């Protein structure tokens, strides 16, 4: 019976939408700033667009070069924001988080050239994560808070 209760609790965590007031309380309690969340969304979307737009394909990109490609895109994205006066420090936590994510859902997918929807799906996923206009579950909010904090620790504040 205990396992059934845990299963129901987990399914609720990942499937049950939170009320707007519950979301507002969670965001406020975690000191989430709307402007920063929009900045972090822009940072993530810019990173992914660099990755997708400059990836030469599996036929031309060896396994070690996938890591070099990500590293180039990561540094280019940081430089692009720096040119705009927004400084993200190259923290290991942020770098590793996004490398692991993009490797798992993009670089490791075979024949991605024949699946153009992959890049669009990834961008939509992240757009929804940062959106204030979509329904959220507790799982969505927890993921958002994790990413927000990782990027907040990378942002050099003046």
Question: Does pLDDT of 116 surpass 90?
Answer: no
Q: d(Cα 126, Cα 148) in Å, to the nearest integer? A: 12
Confidence of residue 62 (pLDDT cuts 50, 70, 90): confident
Q: d(Cα 127, Cα 121) in Å, to the nearest integer? A: 10
Question: Does pLDDT of 21 surpass 60?
Answer: yes
End-to-end CA distance of the chain: 53
Residue 70 confidence (pLDDT) = 98
Q: Which residue range(s) make up the domain with 94?
A: 34-154
User: DSSP assignment of 26-37, as one string?
Assistant: HHHHTT--HHHH
- Residue 59 within any structural domain of the chain: yes
Residue 17 confidence (pLDDT) = 81
Q: Say if residues 49 and 77 touch (Cβ distance below 8 Å).
A: no
Number of domains comprising the chain: 1
Q: d(Cα 91, Cα 34) in Å, to the nearest integer? A: 22
- Residue 121 within any structural domain of the chain: yes
Q: Taking residues 26-43, report their average pLDDT.
A: 96
Contacts of 18 (CB under 8 A, 6+ apart): 26, 136, 137, 138, 141
> Tens digits of per-residue pLDDT, 73-95?
999 999 999 999 999 999 999 99
Taking the model in full, what pTM does it have?
Answer: 0.88
Confidence of residue 153 (pLDDT cuts 50, 70, 90): very high
Q: Which of 74, 85, 83 is nearest to 43 (CA)?
A: 74
- Residue 26 within any structural domain of the chain: no
């Amino acid at each position: 019976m205990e396992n059934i209760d845990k299963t129901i609790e987990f399914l609720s965590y990942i499937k049950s939408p939170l009320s707007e007031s519950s979301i507002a309380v969670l965001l406020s309690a975690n000191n989430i700033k709307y402007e920063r969340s929009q900045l972090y969304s822009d940072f993530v979307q810019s990173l992914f667009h660099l990755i997708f737009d400059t990836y030469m394909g599996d036929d031309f990109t060896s396994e070690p070069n996938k890591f070099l490609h990500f590293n180039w895109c990561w540094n280019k994205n940081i430089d692009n924001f720096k040119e705009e006066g927004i400084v993200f420090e190259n923290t290991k936590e942020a770098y590793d988080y996004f490398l692991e994510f993009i490797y798992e859902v993009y670089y490791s997918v075979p024949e991605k050239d024949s699946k153009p929807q992959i890049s669009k799906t990834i961008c939509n996923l992240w757009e929804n994560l940062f959106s204030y206009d979509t329904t959220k579950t507790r799982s969505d909010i927890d993921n958002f808070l994790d990413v927000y904090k990782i990027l907040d620790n990378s942002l050099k504040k003046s």
